[in-house]
Amino acid sequence: MKANETKSARVTFTLKKKKKEHVSPVHLNNKQLTQTEEVKYLGIHLDRKLTWRKHISGKRKKLNLKLHKLHWTIG
């Protein structure tokens, strides 16, 4: 199995309020992975506190758009 280091990111999942914590860098294929606040994995947006806010708001926007398009059939 091959992993693409340019498409990979690192997220530290924690409930702590402190954002900056000392963690050692993670390397993949001798390249350091970038630290991000959120990541998309299998179509689900995960943030560092696992709240799913971005995922739920994105799904809500898609649902509202589809409802708006079908509004003429509802009357």
Number of structural domains (the chain) is 1
Report yes or no on 3 lying in a domain: no
Report yes or no on 49 lying in a domain: yes
- pTM score of the predicted model: 0.63
Report yes or no on 70 lying in a domain: yes
Report yes or no on 44 lying in a domain: yes
DSSP states along the chain: ----TTT-EE------S---------EETTEEPEE-SEEEETTEEEETT---HHHHHHHHHHHHHHHHHTHHHH-
Range of the domain at 68: 9-74
Mean pLDDT of the chain: 85
Structure tokens at 57: 């708001």
Q: What is the pLDDT of residues 39-51, one digit of tens each?
A: 888 988 888 898 8
Structure tokens at 28: 């993949």
Q: What is the pLDDT of residues 49-75, one digit of tens each?
A: 988 888 999 999 999 999 888 887 876
Report yes or no on 1 lying in a domain: no
Taking the alpha carbons of 50, 46, 42, 5 in that order, is the dihedral positive or negative?
Answer: negative
